[in-house]
Structure 1
């Protein structure tokens, strides 16, 4: 029986490998042909060397490969029958058809023989456009090294004139999610939500003793112990009455030291991202440490979260297929301004990579639009980290401004936007001790 990635998270490593290899087969059959047609590319060359891999290469390797081996070259040819996937590599590459072996050309230098096979496949395919991974806008689509590019051009001879950037194809491949991958991301987001809830519980967070730095390291250790790894070090920040926000790079950010002891009355914010099944999550959650005698957070803090949820609604309403990331940003910010909301939007794709390829919807320090990555268009069957922040005065804190930052995984499908395991609509309440 095939492993069910939604059954439990995380799955044992062997079951994860089975799931990932099955997903790759399905993606090659069901996703790649349409993407190649959309990009107008007949042959896609993905080339990398061990210890200097193209970032895309890892998404094609079998799950038991933790890196490329020697020089690994994949040739993906779009034909009337689908996509023929061949590997010109010293070792077999999973489900890719082995197209070359150095034993085929005894006495000939291995490198020369390997590049000659790429030339032979291209000549046989007679492609109009050959996609290679070079891009100015997306680092993840710019993985062909200078040396590999030079050797490829030399090997292809007159066919080198048909080389074109595969940027749209790379981004499409990296950002498009299978329905089953989206279901698995519900489970992964549930896991990180559970870990954060545990971190904010009295078993872990002891006001007056636990520091923000302690909590960040506890989260990282907990993820490791559960068999998933963070793709960035978790962060925990504090806001408290009497310590106003400070301006940095044109925006207001918390000023409580990162290693401060957490006290009753603090607003606690964390940022956590994990890796499993070859996918990533990116999540932020807010908690409030009750003061003695309190049973709920101050109304001003609750209102700030409510306004943050409204900003999420305005952003997801603007997120529609066909718009560019910059257009989504402009629509969301205009709607927020009309509603009297002071906030910023800096959302991004998330999938194989945490800060994934696809349309950038603002940066925290670039609210006028992001050149290049922000000009890419939104497509269905994609996943984003809906990341933003609003600023609100808190009457109970003497009118001091609070920055309510939120981040939540969402999926955009033909049915619209769905939150992955739900979103935060209420502050997590932490006992005073």
Structure 2
């Protein structure tokens, strides 16, 4: 993917070495431009992020150089906020990218590496004299709960009297994970465009032969295509069929498609896919829809197109409710109230996306929970964040004898000081096969 092209919506795969350069440049910029403000907002002047190889804190992975695919032995990163900005230091046996080396493992001292390493953490804290020391423990966000039980115990023991200044870094960890640079948003725009192009290719006659191809065949085709392009999926792609004569079935209080996932695709079927890819340390999440034309048809039935319009309207209402300062629960309530006022039957279950597909930040409903989500639902919306605008509507189709379809859509959406913007453009019409 080209990040230097004037048009960020055009994608050309970058070699891995160039991707690593881009990611390391982004990390440097984030440490300089993003982290100081986040630490001030959360009132934390020393952040300790620690993890061991094979058991990395989710935050730790986002602070490591691109060539580090995991922690090495025990990796401890300390980020100190001062009047000069944030000093990133590594108390680690090996050099860690742009982090200042704050420990010489070859220096004299009693005990093994672990004893010396924790002693150096204590010395760093004593010199920094922080008011509040943030560590990654959280009851509401798995992303911010990465400090293991053992590492927490060892850290508290090492800090001694300084342990009384330890607080949860939940708000800081979530802020770090959810905040995007303009360059990252441009990259996500390109990646969402790429996802849209792959879906359009999958939902086409060269891939789908009615009466022969199964939904499962198409799902695996998408996964292989992403792999061949060098952008791996972060979950198994799925393809669902809805068909006249096979009504929706109830599951956990919600009506969902009932055609088997491995069924053969037939003319007149409505196809839906869910696809997410990973590149440059960022992720996407998209759901689009296609219709398999019957003989003599040139477009999807009017009833299905009306369902698409209803889904677009629910998207618009949700975007209008996505206001910085509101909590995820408040956005959900506002969107659902506006939809009910217009007679739209649907669900909103949108979520942040960035370093993780189901990212850190405000939860805006779940497909099986449309009232209120405690914890993550009470987190506020901030600018310079990216969301997967995910939702679905139920709509009767007269051409199917009034049978309801469940039309799900999911698109990338960036929220900045300039407002909300779809990433990669949203689907406006059914993809047509045949």
Coarse TM-score class (shorter-chain normalised) = over 0.9
1:304-328 deviations in whole A, cap 9, x for unaligned?
0000000000000000100000000
Does 1:145 find its partner at 2:151? Answer: no
* Alignment-derived partner of residue 200 in structure 2: 197
Gaps of 5+ in 2: none
Give the alignment partner of residue 182 of structure 1, picking from 185, 188, 191: 185
Give the alignment partner of residue 70 of structure 1, picking from 70, 73, 89: 73
Q: Give the Cα–Cα distance (whole angstroms) in 1 for the partners of residues 165 and 392 of structure 2.
A: 45
Does 1:131 find its partner at 2:126? Answer: no
- The residue matched to 2:308 in structure 1 has which SS? helix
* Alignment-derived partner of residue 278 in structure 1: 281
TM-aligned CA deviation for residue 425 of structure 1 = 1.0
1:38-93 deviations in whole A, cap 9, x for unaligned?
00001000000000010100100000010000000000000000000000001000
TM-aligned CA deviation for residue 255 of structure 1 = 0.3
TM-aligned CA deviation for residue 106 of structure 1 = 4.7
8 Å CA contact retained: 2:11, 2:194:
no
Q: Give the Cα–Cα distance (whole angstroms) in 1 for the partners of residues 104 and 260 of structure 2.
A: 58
Structure 1: 4+ residue segments shifted above 2 A: 2-10, 105-108
TM-aligned CA deviation for residue 160 of structure 1 = 0.2
Number of residue pairs the alignment of both structures matches = 430
* Alignment-derived partner of residue 373 in structure 2: 370
* Alignment-derived partner of residue 387 in structure 1: 390
Alignment of 1:150-169 (within 5 A): 150-169=153-172
Gaps of 5+ in 1: none
* Alignment-derived partner of residue 62 in structure 2: 59
Q: Give the Cα–Cα distance (whole angstroms) in 2 for the partners of residues 3 and 399 of structure 1.
A: 48
8 Å CA contact retained: 1:10, 1:276:
no
Q: Give the Cα–Cα distance (whole angstroms) in 2 for the partners of residues 147 and 107 of structure 1.
A: 22
8 Å CA contact retained: 1:3, 1:15:
no
* Alignment-derived partner of residue 263 in structure 1: 266
Q: Give the Cα–Cα distance (whole angstroms) in 2 for the partners of residues 313 and 137 of structure 1.
A: 29
Q: Give the Cα–Cα distance (whole angstroms) in 2 for the partners of residues 3 and 307 of structure 1.
A: 35
Q: TM-score, normalised by structure 1?
A: 0.98
TM-aligned CA deviation for residue 101 of structure 1 = 2.0
TM-aligned CA deviation for residue 405 of structure 1 = 0.3
* Alignment-derived partner of residue 81 in structure 1: 84
- The residue matched to 2:58 in structure 1 has which SS? coil
* Alignment-derived partner of residue 112 in structure 1: 115
TM-aligned CA deviation for residue 11 of structure 1 = 1.3
1:130-169 deviations in whole A, cap 9, x for unaligned?
0000000000000000000000000000000000000000
* Alignment-derived partner of residue 96 in structure 1: 99
1:366-390 deviations in whole A, cap 9, x for unaligned?
1001110000000000000000000
Q: Give the Cα–Cα distance (whole angstroms) in 2 for the partners of residues 292 and 337 of structure 1.
A: 37
TM-aligned CA deviation for residue 9 of structure 1 = 3.9
Task: Say what the alpha-carbon RMSD is for the aligned residues.
Answer: 1.0
Q: Give the Cα–Cα distance (whole angstroms) in 1 for the partners of residues 87 and 206 of structure 2.
A: 54
TM-aligned CA deviation for residue 10 of structure 1 = 2.7
1:219-267 deviations in whole A, cap 9, x for unaligned?
0000001111000000000001000000000000000000000000000
Give the alignment partner of residue 312 of structure 1, picking from 308, 311, 315: 315
8 Å CA contact retained: 1:304, 1:391:
yes
Q: Give the Cα–Cα distance (whole angstroms) in 1 for the partners of residues 157 and 388 of structure 2.
A: 42
8 Å CA contact retained: 2:47, 2:133:
yes
Q: Give the Cα–Cα distance (whole angstroms) in 2 for the partners of residues 225 and 195 of structure 1.
A: 11
Q: Give the Cα–Cα distance (whole angstroms) in 2 for the partners of residues 315 and 200 of structure 1.
A: 27
8 Å CA contact retained: 1:50, 1:67:
yes
Closer/same/farther in 2, CA of residues 184 and 147 from structure 1, 3 Å limit: same
Does 1:287 find its partner at 2:290? Answer: yes
- The residue matched to 1:301 in structure 2 has which SS? helix
Q: TM-score, normalised by structure 2?
A: 0.98
Q: Give the Cα–Cα distance (whole angstroms) in 2 for the partners of residues 185 and 300 of structure 1.
A: 33
TM-aligned CA deviation for residue 183 of structure 1 = 0.4
Query: Please, which moves more after superposition, 109-118 or 79-88?
Result: 109-118
Does 1:346 find its partner at 2:384? Answer: no
8 Å CA contact retained: 2:91, 2:117:
yes
TM-aligned CA deviation for residue 107 of structure 1 = 4.8
Q: Give the Cα–Cα distance (whole angstroms) in 2 for the partners of residues 52 and 4 of structure 1.
A: 35
* Alignment-derived partner of residue 4 in structure 2: 4
* Alignment-derived partner of residue 16 in structure 1: 19
- The residue matched to 1:10 in structure 2 has which SS? coil
Q: Give the Cα–Cα distance (whole angstroms) in 1 for the partners of residues 237 and 360 of structure 2.
A: 22
TM-aligned CA deviation for residue 201 of structure 1 = 1.2
Query: Please, which moves more after superposition, 100-109 or 192-201?
Result: 100-109
* Alignment-derived partner of residue 407 in structure 1: 410
8 Å CA contact retained: 1:238, 1:269:
yes
Q: Give the Cα–Cα distance (whole angstroms) in 1 for the partners of residues 223 and 383 of structure 2.
A: 32
Alignment of 1:293-308 (within 5 A): 293-308=296-311
